[in-house]
Structure 1
């Protein structure tokens, strides 16, 4: 995938290339090769297409380009639903039919496991697609215009506000209130909107003057797997409730039906600790974020066999005196720090379930655990974010029986 943060330059003159898109990479760009052999990550091209693309960024070892003309379209190419597609930075794949998106994402997971982790792709199960690939996102963060108070998204180029009248991947309730937010964003850096269709609870933060509905809430109530969760404005929770239910199902299938001690590492608001507490004698949730940990204390209060530890997983887990027999890992995109993986291979819990939003760091970490003696039984890609290049995975590892 294109490596954000690396040094790049704009070509001194417009450079247009004719490219054959090969495959999608993590992030949603298509891999192609320039006539001189350099790799070109090409946005808004579908695998197999012949396109013309303008180079926008030149890195020492690769180029980034954007498709401007499709010469030989793929049979999987469709008309994007959003008029801002290609300008807005939120979606990368609206030009591809949804089944093609799923095939491409599953292929990305297989490639990353093989290339980065040196792992066989026979462990990869079919991707779990979304029943509804539109109107799913229940947490949206809007940017605002200083002069007229417009509400929208920043251009994919990183500057300039795109006023948004309707977002096709956003929750219908979010789209209902969006017109009422327009013109009221002046003086606000961003407006965060979160909504739970299951509970009817919502959050619009910060307070937005002059709109005909309550704003300024600091938390809202979400429901997952039959459990209610208090979620603060600054705390993480999955934005696609239907696919989050699928994630819970996959994690539940991977965990043992009974156990002594479960560790929910990178626990957030206590999601997995709360849902699976009844399977274990005791549960420990570890979370670094103070706001999420405060929510976890509230959410785990009714669970008598659960407790929360606040701090970095790499500091707390290695110091455990009681060795867990099951661990759920759900780290941020950088994956697990080395001390976390070292502690796991030292404790040897019989089951490790690894939930990842980055197949590259997942492959890296799975390689460490496999080298430490674990057997990787399966990796299931999960499309949590249709129309985008993001991919979620649920992996299961087990310690071989003596």
Structure 2
């Protein structure tokens, strides 16, 4: 490998247990309304309309978390804007048949989950509906070919990584909807390996220590990452078979064990360092890789680009199928992992620099481009770089339907047609929607 450096029956449900802390009224007089919700909105809320005091029609849009479409609810207004408002759910007067009992006692207070009260099959449908809506409204696509959401093999205990914040007493917790740190006694999203590790971690209050991340890989490979604003490393003793990393302003320092974990995808091991990104749902990462390979239509003589390539998750499976593959990534740690993970390939090049800077410098006409950008999406500069190269097909892995909708409009203007888009449920119980779309030139 060559490395290139580039500088949801009537039922009354009361929500006084946790939701009292849900939001603040931001100085508004206490205003309560009874409304019926219409649909899901991206971000975990349900959408409805407030009564119009000037007429018998429905007025401003209202967004309410923890309520479901079709439900008649009593709410309190917490925020009012010119065109919309937000509300706090006080009582469900008529419940949706899709509503179930949440598994976690922290649900409604902790900000990590949004759909535990919604049956899983309905979660999958809702995410496809939301994705379609974003593409229609933001992307101006009249009939986007959204496929059914690919379910996670398990809707619980799927995360290979979890990040805790620390409260003033040094207790591990998550951030609530109103930005408090809530000490957590149970969570049903981390993988079994992390559930076993987490209760064994006892951390005293340490100045500068802000977050603790846990990661797990293959064969009981586990890591604790201490994220601190203090450049001085934390002194600690670990009686657990884990690697411990101090991550501070000056970089990462190994306090014990290794500087990386190994995660296996489709039988292939990937080195993942403490500061490198990797998909949090390993089983779904496998499904996405398989879907990409089945739909990308690669030819042996092709040249392809893997933009935002990370540690090489997609590149490692693309490289054996093409004549030349170019990876682009600006994280030095991920680049180091990429080099090791793809060291066997002589037809792979890696540029360590921002994607929007590298694309305009490439003098080639790639057959395809795979892009897996962060939540912010591609953006105009990167899209202009893609346009200058003119790949026949673009495979776009998106984490945010809103930024995807924005980019979809630009892709259409550039002469690309959306052939297929499939949502993948990498994040059950949450509003997050990962998708893989294929765009072809008209």
Shared fold per TM-score greater than 0.5: yes
Unaligned residue ranges in structure 1 (runs of 5+): 1-7
Q: 1:186 & 1:166 partners in 2: Cα distance?
A: 23
Cα distance in structure 2, aligned partners of 1:165 and 1:9? 28
Moved more, 63-72 or 184-193: 184-193
**8 Å CA contact 1:331, 1:356 repeated in 2:** yes
Structure 2 residue aligned with 1:229, among 270, 284, 302? 270
Contact 1:287 1:310 in 2 (8 A): yes
C-alpha contact (below 8 Å) 1:375/1:397 kept by paired residues: yes
Q: Does 1:143 align with 2:165?
A: yes
> Hey, what does 2:178 align to over in structure 1?
157
Alignment map for 1:69-148 (pairs within 5 Å): 69-147=91-169
**Is the contact between residue 199 and residue 223 of structure 1 (CA under 8 Å) also seen in structure 2?**
no
Distance 2:167 2:236 in 1: 15
Find the aligned partners of 1:209 and 1:146 in 2 and give their Cα distance.
Answer: 19
CA distance in 2, matches of 1:336, 1:199: 35
Match of 2:365 among 303, 311, 323: 323
State whether structure 2 residue 72 is matched by structure 1 residue 31: no
- Separation (CA, whole Å) in 1 of partners of 2:393 and 2:267: 24
**1:220 corresponding residue in structure 2:** 261
CA deviations 1:28-83 (Å, max 9, x no partner) are 11011122322111000011111112223333432222212110000000000010
- C-alpha deviations, 1:363-394, integer Å up to 9, x for none? 22122222222221111111110000000110
Which residue of structure 2 aligns with residue 49 of structure 1? Answer: 71
**1:17 pairs with one of 30, 33, 49:** 33
SS in 1 for 2:382: helix
Change in Cα spacing, 1:234 to 1:56, as seen in structure 2 (3 Å) is farther
Residue of structure 2 aligned with 1:181, choices 201, 225, 230: 201
CA distance in 1, matches of 2:35, 2:202: 40
Q: Cα deviations across residues 199-231 of structure 1 (Å, max 9, x unaligned)?
A: 432211126835531341432111112221111
Runs of 5+ consecutive residues of structure 2 not aligned to the other structure? 1-23, 53-58, 227-233, 246-258
Match of 1:4 in 2: none
Maintained 8 Å contact 1:127/1:381: yes
Counterpart residue number, 1:249: 290
Structure 1 window deviating more from structure 2 (387-396 vs 198-207): it is 198-207
Shift of 1:343: 2.7
SS at match of 2:40: coil
Q: Superposition RMSD on alpha carbons, in Å?
A: 1.9
Matched, 1:361 2:381: no
How many pairs does the alignment contain? 390
- Is residue 168 of structure 1 aligned with residue 196 of structure 2? no
In the alignment, structure 1 residue 373 sits paired with structure 2 residue 415? yes
8 Å Cα contact 1:254/1:353 also seen in 2: no
Check the 8 A contact 1:165/1:178 in 2, yes or no. Answer: no
2: CA distance between counterparts of 1:179 and 1:270?
33
Shift of 1:184: 4.3
Specify whether residues 244 and 358 from structure 1 end up closer, same or farther in structure 2 by C-alpha distance, changes over 3 A only: same
Name 1:5's counterpart in structure 2. Answer: none
Check 1:185–1:210 CA distance in 2 against 1; reply closer, same or farther (3 A cut): farther
Q: Conserved in 1, the CA contact under 8 Å of 2:167 and 2:182?
A: no
Change in Cα spacing, 1:208 to 1:12, as seen in structure 2 (3 Å) is farther
**2: CA distance, partners of 1:155 / 1:122:** 35
Rg: which structure is higher? 2
User: What SS class does the counterpart of residue 34 from structure 1 fall into?
Assistant: strand
C-alpha separation in 1, matches of 2:385 and 2:82: 38
Higher RCO (Cα < 8 Å, 6 or more apart): 2
1:246 Cα deviation from its structure 2 partner: 1.1
Deviations 1:320-373 (A, max 9, x none): 102211100111112112132223233221211011011122122122222222
Given that 1:185 and 1:191 are in contact with CA atoms closer than 8 Å, whether structure 2 keeps it comes out as no
- Asked if structure 2 preserves the Cα contact closer than 8 Å seen for 1:243 and 1:383, the reply is yes
